[in-house]
Every structure is written in structure tokens, then in C-alpha cells.
Amino acid sequence: MNFAPFIDGSYGVTVLFLLGIGVLTFARYRRAVKRLRAVETR
């Protein structure tokens, strides 16, 4: 049996999840920093 699609699929899902949540979290963090800075200096 060819295991490659199953192995690639599980690694693919993991990497996509980690990248996705990482990028979204980083974007939210940067946005929160900018917003707080803008509110504090207004």
C-alpha cells in the first residue's frame, strides 16, 4: 500500500494549522499593539 498520501495529508494538515493559527495570532497581536498605542497617544 502506498502510504505517501496519508503521511503527506497528516503533515499537511498539521503544518497548515500551525501556520494558519500562527499568522492569525501574530496579526491580531500586532493590531492590538497598534490600536492601544493609537488610543494612548490620541
In the complex, the smallest distance separating the C-beta of residue 2 from other proteins, rounded to whole angstroms, is 9
What distance in Å separates the CA atoms of residue 32 and residue 38, rounded to the nearest whole number?
10
Q: Which amino acid is at 39?
A: V
Q: Which of residues 1-40 bind other proteins (CB under 8 A)?
A: 1, 3-4, 6-7, 9-11, 13-15, 17-18, 21-22, 25-26, 28-29, 31-33, 35-36, 39-40
41: contact with other proteins by CB under 8 A: no
In the complex, the smallest distance separating the C-beta of residue 34 from other proteins, rounded to whole angstroms, is 9
Number of continuous H segments (helices) and E segments (strands) in the chain = 1, 0
